[in-house]
């Protein structure tokens, strides 16, 4: 084991402004201290809400990471895209803090509704050629294949792995 990753914050606990997100980041910095002291990395796994613009034009992820300088990221690329962001831009911005990337794809709007709108990697809307080139260039090499609601887990694993080996 090399890292402990916090994976989610319930909607009713999410801050609504930059100061609240900064306080949340400071809290993560504090609770991660004993984990880091034990020799492990301590990080955050994002969803779309950290990449939705706040009233001041900034993003929760910025406030979190500014307030938690030791926090690393397990960046979920599909959630960045769902929020309207560019996975490549965010990878480049935080490349020194990303320890793993969730390789996940989102279907075109209105498709795969029986799978929550998710798609097998390479069968959705994300530009994997551009993303994989960016991941290689930044040295991020730990990937987690993910699909939030596959109808067929074997299909997902097979098709996604076939795309992943082209990285």
CA distance 52 to 67: 18
CA distance 141 to 160: 16
Percent of the chain topping pLDDT 70: 100
Tell me, rounded to whole angstroms, the distance of Cα 92 from its chain centroid.
13
Q: Which tens digits make up the pLDDT trace of 26-56?
A: 999 999 999 999 999 999 999 999 999 999 9
Q: Which tens digits make up the pLDDT trace of 90-107?
A: 999 999 999 999 999 999
Q: Are 143 and 164 in contact (CB under 8 A)?
A: yes
Domain 3-103+125-139, what fold?
TIM Barrel (3.20.20)
What residue segments make up the domains of the chain, in order of their start?
3-103+125-139
Q: Quick check: 125 pLDDT over 90?
A: yes
DSSP-derived 3-state class of residue 42: strand
pTM over 0.85: yes
Among the listed residues 103, 102, 86, 100, the one whose alpha carbon sits nearest the alpha carbon of residue 159: 103
Tell me what pLDDT residue 167 has.
85
Q: Which tens digits make up the pLDDT trace of 52-90?
A: 999 999 999 999 999 999 999 999 999 999 999 999 999
């Amino acid at each position: 084991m090399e890292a402990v990753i916090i994976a989610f914050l319930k909607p009713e606990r999410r801050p609504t402004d930059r100061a609240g997100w900064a306080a949340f980041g400071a809290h993560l910095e504090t609770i991660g201290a004993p984990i880091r002291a034990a020799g492990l990395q301590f990080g955050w796994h994002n969803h779309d809400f950290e990449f939705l613009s706040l009233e001041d034009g900034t993003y929760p992820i910025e406030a979190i990471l500014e307030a938690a300088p030791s926090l690393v990221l397990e960046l979920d690329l599909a959630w960045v895209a769902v929020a309207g962001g560019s996975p490549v831009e965010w990878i480049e911005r935080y490349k020194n803090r990303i320890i793993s990337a969730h390789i996940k794809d989102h279907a075109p709007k209105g498709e795969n509704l029986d799978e929550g709108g998710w798609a097998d990697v390479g069968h959705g809307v994300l530009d994997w050629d551009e993303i994989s080139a960016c991941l290689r260039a930044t040295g991020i090499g730990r990937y987690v294949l993910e699909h939030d609601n596959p109808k067929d887990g074997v299909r997902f694993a097979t098709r996604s792995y076939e795309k992943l080996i082209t990285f």
